Amino acid sequence: MKAQRTLVALAAAAVLAAGCSGRSESGGSGDSESRGDSGTAQSASGDFGDLSDVCGPGDATAASAQGVTADEIRVGVLSDVGFTKNSEFVDAANVFTEWCNAAGGINGRTLVPETRDAKLMEVRQRMIEACREDFALVGGGAALDGLGVKERLSCLLPSYPAQVSQTQAVGADLEISASPSRVPGYDPYYGFREWLITEKYPESAGSVGIINGDSPVTRDLGQQAVDGITAAGGTLTYNDLYPAMGVADWTPYAQSIKSKNVRGLVFYGDFKQLAKLEEVLTGMDYKLDWIDANNNAYNDSFIELLGKSADFQNNYVDLGGSAPLSSADDAPAVQQVLDMYAQYAPDAEITFPALRAMSAWALFAKAATSCGDDLTRACVYEAALQEGAWTGGGLHAPGDLANPVPPQPCFNVQEATPDGWISPDFGADNGFYRCSTPPFAYPGDYGVPMTLADVGKTMGDIR
C-alpha cells in the first residue's frame, strides 16, 4: 500500500508539473459521434484567423495512409481526462473538428478525433492503440507523455501536441509544437521572471522563494527555476517541497515563508493548493511583492478561489508568446475561438492549454489540406515544417517550426485581480508581447529528447 500511495503521489505531482490544472469541466466526449453537420460546408468559411482555407470541401478519393480513407481522417487526442476530469483537450478537439467539418473538412474528408485517455498512468497503452489506428496525434497532452515516446517513434506517428511535459517528449523527433512552448535546454519563464525581479519589484531580488510538489519530476522543474532566477539576478532564500497530493494545513509553510522574509514566490502545483496557501498568508497579513502562480492558474476559477487574496496578493502568470483571452477585440483569431466555442461547446471553459490546442489543430489542418488527395504522414509533417513564422492564425507570436531552438523569447504577463485577469505594463515591445529579452539556456544537464535513431529508425522510413 505504501508503494501504491507513493506512485499516486508522484503521478499527481507529474500532473501538476505538466501544467494540468485539475479543473473539472463539462464538454465533449471522446467518441466520434455527434460531429458537426457537414451539410453547411458550402456556406461555412474555412478561414482561421489570418489563415485562408485551412479547411474546405474537395474531392479526395484515396485511402492514402493508416487512418485516412476517401471519407475521413482519424486522429488521436492524448489526454489524462479520466484522471484529471479536465476535458480541455477533448473540448478543443471537438470544437475545431466540428468547425472544420462544417467548412468541408480536409479536402472533403471528415476529421474524426479519437480521445486517447491515458488516465495518467496508461500513456504507453494508449500510444500503442494510436499506433494501430491513428494517422497522427493532434492537440493533446499527457503529464507522463515521456512514457509513450518510444512507441510513437517506433510506429512513425507524427505528433502536433498542445503541450509537452517530460524530457523524453520535449522536442522529440516527429513532434511539432505549434505554439510557444518548452524546448530542450531553455528556461521558458526567464524573461518573465527577470521582469519581476529586476524591473517590477527590484526590492524582491534579494529574497526569492520556490515551493514545489515533492516528486523527482517536479524537483527538476524546481532546480531549473533556481538556475533561471539566479541568472536573472535573484537570490534564493527559501526552497521547499510539499506533499504532491496536497496539504491539509498550509500554516507551517506560510510561517516559514514569512520567517524568511520571502518577497517573491514561485509556486509549482495545483492552483487550488496555491489559493489555500495564499488564504493563510493573507490571514497572517503577510503580503509578498509577487507570486508566480504559473499559467495553469490562468482561469476564472483561480480568481474565485483566491477570495480576499485576489486583492491583497499580487499574482502573475506568463502566457509566453500567446495572446490572452482578453485580447479578442484586437486579435481576430482569439475572437474566432470564442465564437467557435459559443457555437460548438457553449458550456466548456476556454483555457490556456485549449488555446494552444487550437493552434496545433490549425497547423495540422493547414498542412493536411496542402497535401491534397495524397495525404501521407511524410507530406503533412514536411508541410508543417515549412511554417517559418507560425502564429496559429494570430493566436501567438511567430515561431519557426523547423528551427525551434533557440526559442523565440516573447512573453506576455497577466495579473489576477478581483475582477479578472488584466494585462499589466510589462514593457510590451511587439504587439501583445515583450520579445527583447534573450533566451536563457540552462547551465545544467536535464536530459535530452528521444530521437528516431534511439528506436532504429530514420526520417527516410516515414511514408
- Segment 430-454, tens digit of pLDDT: 999 999 999 999 998 888 999 999 9
pLDDT grade for 402, boundaries at 50, 70 and 90: very high
Output the nine-digit C-alpha cell for 403.
Answer: 528551427
Output the nine-digit C-alpha cell for 37.
Answer: 453537420
Which strand ranges, in their side-by-side order, compose the sheet holding 159-160?
A: 110-117, 72-79, 137-138, 159-160
Judged against a pLDDT cut of 90, whether residue 275 lies above it is answered with: yes
What is the rounded average pLDDT of the residues 383-397?
Answer: 97
Q: What percent of the chain has pLDDT over 90?
A: 82
What is the rounded average pLDDT of the residues 205-217?
Answer: 88
Neighbours of 386 (CB within 10 A): 11
CA atoms 424, 430, 436, 441: torsion sign = positive
Query: H-helix or E-strand containing 194?
Result: helix 190-194
Cα separation, 118 vs 83, whole angstroms: 8
Cα separation, 287 vs 297, whole angstroms: 19
What is the rounded average pLDDT of the residues 343-370?
Answer: 96
Query: H-helix or E-strand containing 159?
Result: strand 159-160
- pLDDT tens for 109-138 read 999 999 999 999 999 999 999 999 999 999
Contact 314, 39 (CB under 8 A): no
Question: Can you give the pLDDT at residue 84?
Answer: 86
What is the rounded average pLDDT of the residues 8-26?
Answer: 44
Contact 445, 355 (CB under 8 A): no
Question: Can you give the pLDDT at residue 10?
Answer: 46
Closest among 137, 127, 57, 55 to 96, alpha carbons compared? 55
> Which residue has cell 511535459?
165
Contact 86, 25 (CB under 8 A): yes
Judged against a pLDDT cut of 50, whether residue 360 lies above it is answered with: yes
Topology of domain 2-28+61-184+329-403+448-461 in CATH is Rossmann fold (3.40.50)
> For 190-319+407-422, which CATH class?
alpha beta
Classify burial at 388, counting beta carbons within 10 Å of its beta carbon; exposed 0-12, middle 13-18, buried 19 or more.
exposed
Burial 296-316 (b: 16+ CB within 10 A, else e): bbbbebbbebbeebbebbbbb
> Which residue has cell 468547425?
99
Cα separation, 390 vs 452, whole angstroms: 25
Count of CA atoms in the C-beta half-sphere (13 A) of 110: 17
Judged against a pLDDT cut of 50, whether residue 39 lies above it is answered with: no
Judged against a pLDDT cut of 80, whether residue 215 lies above it is answered with: no
Judged against a pLDDT cut of 50, whether residue 243 lies above it is answered with: yes
CA-derived radius of gyration, the chain: 22
What is the rounded average pLDDT of the residues 217-245?
Answer: 90
pLDDT grade for 203, boundaries at 50, 70 and 90: very high
- pLDDT tens for 292-349 read 999 989 988 999 999 999 999 999 999 999 999 999 999 999 999 999 999 999 999 8
- Of 11-15, 29-33, 234-238, the poorest mean pLDDT is in 29-33
More confident residue, 179 or 283: 283
Average pLDDT of the residues of the chain:
90
Contact 212, 269 (CB under 8 A): yes
Say if residue 418 is preceded by a cis peptide, omega within 30 of 0.
no
What is the rounded average pLDDT of the residues 166-185?
Answer: 91
Question: Can you give the pLDDT at residue 391?
Answer: 97
Ranges of each domain in the chain: 2-28+61-184+329-403+448-461, 190-319+407-422
Contact 251, 278 (CB under 8 A): no
Question: Can you give the pLDDT at residue 296?
Answer: 86
Cα separation, 103 vs 97, whole angstroms: 10
Same CATH topology for 2-28+61-184+329-403+448-461 and 190-319+407-422: the answer is: yes
Cα separation, 118 vs 399, whole angstroms: 29
Neighbours of 425 (CB within 10 A): 9
Question: Can you give the pLDDT at residue 33?
Answer: 36
